Structure 1
Amino acid sequence: MPTTATTCGPTATDLRHQERKVLHAIGCGLRDDEIAAALAMPEDAVAGHLARILVKLGLRDRAAAIVHAFDCGLVVPGSGPRTRAVDPVPRTAAGRAAGPKVQISLLGPLQARQDGRPLKLGHLRQQAVLAALALCAGRTVSRQELLDGAWGTEPPVTNVVPVYVYRLRKTLRVADSRPDSVIEHDRCGYRLVPGAVDVDVARMEELVADVGTAERAGEPAEAVRLCSQALELFRGEPLAGLPGPLAELERLRLTERRITIAQRKLEWQLRLGRHSEAVAELFALSAAHPLHEPVAAMLMRALYRGGRQAEALTVFDHVRRRLADDLGVPPSRMLRQTRQMILRGDEAGLGLIRTP
């Protein structure tokens, strides 16, 4: 029975010297023509060596050979025939990759672009691995974390993570660059190379930090502008369609983050007297999240402050019915209090509170 490449079995010592060199090059991500050029042998000889390697090690295919090379320690990311050439990706003094970056978008269906060109990221589990690396940009993610995040309690029988990383490296790297120019590997796991990738989630958080700076500086119009920029990064449901527990949790977190940023923007619009604009956006936000009671309460307050008390109370009735029909629960205390303050005409109680 063929073995899986989860460990380096004693059969690896059965390889001849030239076969080990070919396996090393395969593990480094080189194609047959690249191996032929690097090892100065005919391309058909490379194919012959690969066939013998698979037989001797009991491996199914080239992907299994790559896994075997990684797990045996025969391949260290960044080593191999290709690294003898000059590194075409310049590095800064801090060791970060310079030159063209890969743009990864998680605030919608997963996308990756390079120089404006969309990249094909493979099937969904492979995409889930890339999403996990992008969500943890800046730190190393262990193989077990990737398995837990993308598969949960039902991991694959074979160790496919190195295969997925190999394929992602081929897809993401800059032309003629090192195999690990975008995804690095060490004994602890994998990580995106700092400076080689732009992730929209990180950009969104930078904008939110700038919003806080604008608020502290007493610049509400600038805060509104920055919130708008952050919201423009969202292209639909975050990580739409990706499997695994990590994607599911991040979908919920990032969706709530989007609502919070929208509330923050709308609070400032209302303070600036831009009521009609804010009310229109609040109606749209409430329609997209009909069970989100803080959004409903904010819409009720905005309508009341605009002299539309009857519409504000209608919003309460609509949300109350939805909560009863969909969740079987009554309105929260916060929503009930908002209704009572509207009925009493409590202007002070309905004052807008900035969303933290």
Structure 2
Amino acid sequence: MRKLLWATALACGLALGGANADARSVRWAASGDPNTLDPHSQNVGTVSMVLQQIYDTLISRTQDLGLAPGLALRWEQQEPNRWRFWLRDGVKFHEGEAFTADDVVFSVTRALAPTSNYGIYVDTVERAVQVEPMVVDIITKIPDPILPNKIASVFMMSRSWSEKNNAARPQNTRQREEMHTVRNTNGTGAFRLTARESDVRTVMTRNNDWWGWQEPASREANITEIIFRPIASDATRIAALLSGEVDFVLDPPLQDLNRLRQAQNIRVLEGPEVRTIFLAMDVHRDELLYSDVKGRNPMKDLRVRQALYHAIDIQAIHRTTMRGQSVVTGTFFPPQVNGYTKEEDVRLPYDAARARALLAEAGYPNG
């Protein structure tokens, strides 16, 4: 099942653009707060949603998730195992350092480190090599035709700033390591960090030197400050929106959507997430960790797995648990992801009788 909703609820007075609109501060709330600001430590939404305001990637995304120039103006697969990136001139980090190919080499190498949680985006990468001051090659261990899609998620850092602050590798969150990048940033992005109080607020102010302000989609942007507030309580978060205490909520609870849609001063924007909710079964162990079946693993039997599939009333989950805000799916990949095949996106039917028959056939007549 794919979660349909990335819903954002906005106060209608929020001016997001317009050449004549007054510049303003935007107050934004969500349920969780980033546990770090290190660009390569934690690949989770609560961290990325803030870091995306501060750091850039080589390749950006369009509104329909296509690829667009970011810190790299263009890229090309020159050999099966070599991708070349031509970088954007004149870009500076927030603390004044010029962005160069050396920073790309450093950032890719850092994302490869054992303490990085971004390894899935560089899993085929062997190394990055500076060709010229503004040209860099990424060498892969095997041909990787979708490397641009993956590198679009890797934030670029300043080598000199990172090394000066003893942050040449990502923070080790498992050991609760404290380092400079946990609470400090230095990106090339649209906003720069000006205040950070964990679990209270994060303040970012407009970086007037950001290259993106000259792009057609951003020329009329009038936001000068973003104030992010984590509000864990659903009720408190929605109350803050309705009272005007915050301008938008990124993750309104499903049960409040109808009320928000009917509110005169609220607009709800929604769409599908690039995320699939799925049930994983342990087919690796010879014996399940938590089961009264001993000496074997029922999940290794295809009939058991098929029985579980047939036993799931996906439409009931869609109607009740997800309140209609989901898309029933038969495949792991959503349409926006490479590898999606429409013909495979068909579910087995909900069939409790068939599920019971399969379990009995596999030797589990009582479930």
TM-score range, shorter chain: under 0.3
Ranked by relative contact order (alpha carbons within 8 Å, sequence separation 6 or more), the top structure is 2
| Structure 1 or 2: more helix by fraction | 1
TM-score, normalized by length of structure 1? Answer: 0.24
Q: Larger C-alpha radius of gyration, 1 or 2?
A: 1
TM-score, normalized by length of structure 2? Answer: 0.24
| Structure 1 or 2: more strand by fraction | 2
